[in-house]
Amino acid sequence: MNKLVLLLVFPLQVVFGQQSYYDDVDLTLTGQDLYFELQEKISNASSSFNYGDVKTAFFTMDNNPDNSNDVLLIYGYNDNDGSCTTDRSRDKDDFGGNLCEYNREHTFARSNTNPTMGDVSNSTTGIGADPHNIRPSDQQANNSKGNRKFATGSGNAGNAGVDWYPGDEWRGDVARIMMYMYTRYGDRCLPSLQAVGANEGGTNMKQILLQWNAEDEVSELEMQRNPFLEQAYGNRNPFIDQPNLATIIWGGPEAQDLWATAGVDDISVDDFTVFPNPTSEILWIESTTQQIETVSLYDAQGRQVSYATYHAAQGIDLSDFSAGMYFLKIENESGALTKKVLVE
């Protein structure tokens, strides 16, 4: 087991509990009732956000967490093989339609909606400019995917017969985009219009999308898109915030339950001092009012990566953890506190 190191970021509190965006949504509902409840919620989005705005939004919502000069390219997988078509990342300024440039990929293809989205221009609004559906993509990879439907596969993105496999890294992203599009736009974006295979039970949801949603858990990239788009566009993708909503609505394999990972804080952040911040060495936790009993660390996808009893005399060793974002859960008999953590 990794040695656990704790790092609290003071003003910013992040918990895996339900986001306040859903406070007016009846989450006790199930099946089609919950589908319609979420449909009503996410329909309240900007009517002025246009296709031109997406290009600028890429710089924030699709920014590479490991390099702020780059955006991440959907379907990409290798920056070092000498072929820009397979690039996973690209300088954010290299936008266009030429070789080794990136453009705007409608993940749910424009021509597959019914009726189709039609042509788009920078002034286009509505479904053709919905940023939840649009990702940066190498322009050649975008052309290769075209309006092919999504189908089963493994490994890197590419043709799956006459269809398209989005790649192991991107299959969960694609599934959650398809679920959003179907929930927001209804039969105009039926999953059968963009994905192949059997439906789940008596629903319209494709089994393959439910499988991808469960197998490929929410990424740090997806997590950074939702808060930005709530502000810039006015809604969120519920299946990024809580993949298990898909299981509740359509069935299939049990998907990740982010809202249950850490729960709601019932210890005040003011009870704790944690230092230094940031660090890649020893980190200390002090409290004059609370006993610290156990500490857990979760990665950006909500998976527990370590659990330990806290020893105040020893501190916590961070040296075995990779750099990145984590979530820390501190527990004692009074309850629990969850904070965003950063590892250098």
Question: Are the C-beta atoms of residues 127 and 117 closer than 8 Å to each other?
Answer: yes
Containing 64, the helix (H) or strand (E) segment is strand 63-64
Q: How far apart are CA 334 and CA 332, in angstroms?
A: 5
Q: How far apart are CA 242 and CA 227, in angstroms?
A: 14
DSSP assigned state of 195: B
Q: How far apart are CA 233 and CA 229, in angstroms?
A: 5
Helix ranges, the chain (H): 31-42, 51-61, 139-145, 171-185, 207-215, 220-232, 238-241, 244-250
Q: What is the pLDDT of residue 266?
A: 54
Q: What is the pLDDT of residue 216?
A: 96
- Collapse the DSSP code of 229 into the 3-class scheme (helix H, G, I; strand E, B; otherwise coil) and give the result: helix
Specify the pTM.
0.75
In the chain (344 residues long), the average pLDDT of successive 10-residue segments reads 37 52 92 97 97 97 94 98 97 97 98 97 98 98 98 98 98 98 98 98 97 95 94 97 95 89 52 70 75 74 68 72 73 74 71
3-state helix, strand, coil in the chain (%, to 5): 30, 20, 50
Question: Are the C-beta atoms of residues 146 and 76 closer than 8 Å to each other?
Answer: no
Domains identified in the chain and CATH numbers: 21-256 (no CATH), 269-343 (2.60.40.3080)
* Residue 159, beta-bridge partner list: 164
Nearest Cα residue to 292 out of 335, 320, 332: 332
Residues 6+ apart with CB under 8 A from 24: 41
Question: Are the C-beta atoms of residues 180 and 119 closer than 8 Å to each other?
Answer: no
Q: Which token pair is 95? A: 């936008």
Q: Which token pair is 228? A: 């930005």
Q: What is the pLDDT of residue 341?
A: 67
Q: Which token pair is 210? A: 């439910």
Q: How far apart are CA 111 and CA 132, in angstroms?
A: 17
Cβ count within 10 A of residue 52: 16
Q: Is the dihedral of CA 328, 255, 32, 113 positive or negative?
A: positive
Residue 276 preceded by cis peptide, ω within 30: yes
Question: Are the C-beta atoms of residues 9 and 339 closer than 8 Å to each other?
Answer: yes
Amino acid at 13: Q
* Residue 286, beta-bridge partner list: 273
Q: Which token pair is 78? A: 């290798």
